[in-house]
Amino acid sequence: MRLTEFSQPLQKQPQVLYHVSRKANRKSIQQQGLLPRVQEFENIKRKPGVYFMQTLDQAKDWAFWSAFDSAAAMDIWKIQLPSDYAVTPDTHPEMDIYNAWIGYEPVPAENIQVVSTQSVPKSTAQAPPFAKKVANEHVQLTELFERPLKHAPFIQWDDNEVSWFYVDDMTYVFVAQRDYGNNYIVNFKMIDSQPDEKIMQTDPYGPAAWSEIYNKMYRSKTKITGTGHQNQVIGTVIELFREFVATKKPDSITFVAFNQSRGRVLLYRRLALLAVKHLGFQFDEVDLSGVGTIWTLTKR
């Protein structure tokens, strides 16, 4: 679904626009101005440019979701465009819900100022009141990332429901451990290898592959993103999670993430939000004295 019907029609080139950037970039921007860059958020592949929103409300919405996804505070900059500065409409599909613009020249530091900062939202935070219907659709769009990879059918292993998928030389494993009744503790593991070539050629998603994966799980890592395939990994994990909920119909799901595993924290935040918005759950978020976070999802 394209969402242009929710945007205001693009008018002639505005002279005041807004830009969102990580707060960590503030000092360099104040010194150098805004320089054409490759879009810093990995789920949108763009060529170098300076990216703008037409209104403050749109910038606040973009800053909220960017801070949520990246776990980094965002600055919103007000831009007074130089009289000879040219911008063109940003027609990327991800930007359909915004009046967005792109410039391909630097913007001088004297033409910009910070007007707002978005801290990292908690999973329970409410998005800014930028056309709620649009914001909800935006969540659905950003969940897609890239086409999910093929994954193994769920199999039962002891008291666990298990599935897995491969990216290059990595194996990602979904493990849902039955706690009691129809309640599960969900975890994801990454193993820096795949089954041998013969297994991969004959039955990469069958019992032989799982047997080899299981024997290597003691070497599994906690890092599950940032390996060069983040968009495909997250998209596939979301697809797995949806399938698990649809087929096993759990009464509750628990995630645990420690703060040093930033990719895992971000992934579990996204899954918690997905479960609340689209899968009929409510959840509690408990901070582990600054060490980590526990999310408990329960059916409404």
Residue 149 lies in a domain: no
Q: What are phi and psi of 293, to 5 degrees?
A: -140, 145
- Name beta bridge partners: 178: 184
Helix (H, G, I), strand (E, B) or coil at 220: coil
121 with 217, same domain: the answer is: no
Q: How far apart are CA 77 and CA 113, in angstroms?
A: 5
CATH assignment of the domain containing 294: 3.40.630.30
In this structure, the answer to whether residues 204 and 243 fall within a common structural domain is yes
pLDDT tens track for 38-61 = 655 544 567 789 999 998 988 998
Quick: pLDDT tens for 195-252: 898 999 998 998 899 998 888 876 666 666 555 566 678 778 888 998 999 999 999 9
Query: 297 or 134: which carries more pLDDT confidence?
Result: 297
Domain residue limits at 205 = 155-299
Examine the domain organization and report whether 162 and 63 are in the same domain.
no
Cα gap 82→103, rounded to integer Å: 11
Q: Are residues 166 and 89 in the same domain?
A: no
pTM for the model stands at 0.57
Q: Which two tokens stand for residue 188?
A: 């994801």
| Average pLDDT of the residues in 88-113 | 84
The answer for residues whose C-beta is within 8 angstroms of residue 153's C-beta and 6 or more apart is 163, 205
Residue 27 lies in a domain: yes
CA distance 290 to 50: 36
Sign of CA dihedral 91, 92, 98, 99: negative
Mean pLDDT score, 253-279 = 77
Distance CA 54, CA 17 (A): 5
Residues 6+ apart with CB under 8 A from 171: 164, 165, 190, 191, 193, 194, 195, 213, 216
Higher pLDDT, 170 or 76: 76
Looking at residue 290, its pLDDT comes to: 67
- Please count the other Cβ atoms lying within 10 Å of the Cβ belonging to residue 117: 13
Where does the pLDDT of residue 262 fall: very low under 50, low under 70, confident under 90, or very high at 90 and above? low
Question: Looking at residues 163-176, what average pLDDT do you find?
Answer: 89
280, 274 Cβ separation under 8 angstroms: no
Lowest mean pLDDT among 55-59, 61-65, 124-128, 254-258: 124-128
Same domain, 204 and 279: yes
Can you list the positions of beta strands (E) in the chain? Answer: 16-22, 50-53, 74-80, 87-89, 100-103, 112-118, 155-157, 160-167, 170-180, 183-191, 252-258, 281-287, 292-299
**Per mean pLDDT, which of 41-55, 127-141, 174-188, 255-269 is the most reliable?**
174-188
Domain membership of residue 56 (yes or no) is yes
Q: Are 68 and 269 within 8 A, CB to CB?
A: yes
pLDDT value at position 136?
Answer: 46
Check whether 154 has a pLDDT greater than 80.
yes
- Averaged over 253-275, what is the pLDDT? 77
How many domains does the chain divide into? 2
* Confidence band, pLDDT 50/70/90 cuts, at residue 116: very high
Q: What is the pLDDT of residue 189?
A: 86
- SS3 call for 266: helix
Count of Cβ atoms closer than 10 Å to residue 239 Cβ: 18
Contact of 166 with 194, CB cutoff 8 Å: yes
pLDDT of residue 267: 77
Domain boundary among 144, 178, 193: 144
